[in-house]
């Protein structure tokens, strides 16, 4: 069953750190089966506070999404994301 990693960026704190994150996160996908479904595209805010940006990545399963997220390569990149902005991140199982 597919699973989706959803990252919602609420507030940028350090643009340079986010730039570093983007470069390192791209390399962290090697060896992981993921399909980008949305990468900071246009949004229509219907309810709740607006987000600065939203990313949705599809994985074959929750286990594979978790394996990517917890991988040393992604965690090394994620430290820059944590410094660069306030995010909310989820893994949600699809249908």
Residue ranges covered by each domain of the chain: 3-93
DSSP 31: T
DSSP 52: S
The alpha carbon of residue 3 and the mean position of all alpha carbons in its chain are separated, in whole angstroms, by: 13
Give the pLDDT confidence of 34-70 residue by residue, as tens digits.
999 999 999 999 999 999 999 999 999 999 999 999 9
As a 3-state breakdown, the chain gives helix, strand, coil percent values, each rounded to 5, of 40, 35, 30
Cα atoms in the Cβ-side hemisphere of radius 13 Å centred on 50: 6
Say what the pLDDT of residue 76 is. 96
- Integer Cα distance of 18 and 15 in angstroms: 5
- Right CATH for 3-93 from 3.30.70.100, 3.30.450.20, 3.40.640.10, 3.40.50.1820: 3.30.70.100
Q: What percent of the chain has pLDDT over 70?
A: 100
Say what the pLDDT of residue 77 is. 96
Chain mean pLDDT for the chain: 96
Say what the pLDDT of residue 57 is. 98
Total residue count of the chain as it appears in this document: 95
């Amino acid at each position: 069953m597919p699973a989706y990693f959803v990252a919602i960026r609420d507030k940028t704190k350090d643009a340079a750190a986010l730039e570093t994150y983007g470069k390192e996160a791209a390399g962290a996908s090697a060896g992981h089966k993921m399909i980008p479904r949305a990468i900071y595209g246009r949004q229509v805010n219907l309810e709740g506070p607006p987000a600065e940006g939203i990313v949705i990545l599809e994985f074959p399963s929750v286990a594979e999404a978790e394996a990517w997220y917890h991988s040393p390569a992604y965690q090394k990149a994620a430290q820059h994301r944590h410094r660069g902005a306030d995010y909310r991140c989820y893994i949600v199982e699809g249908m």
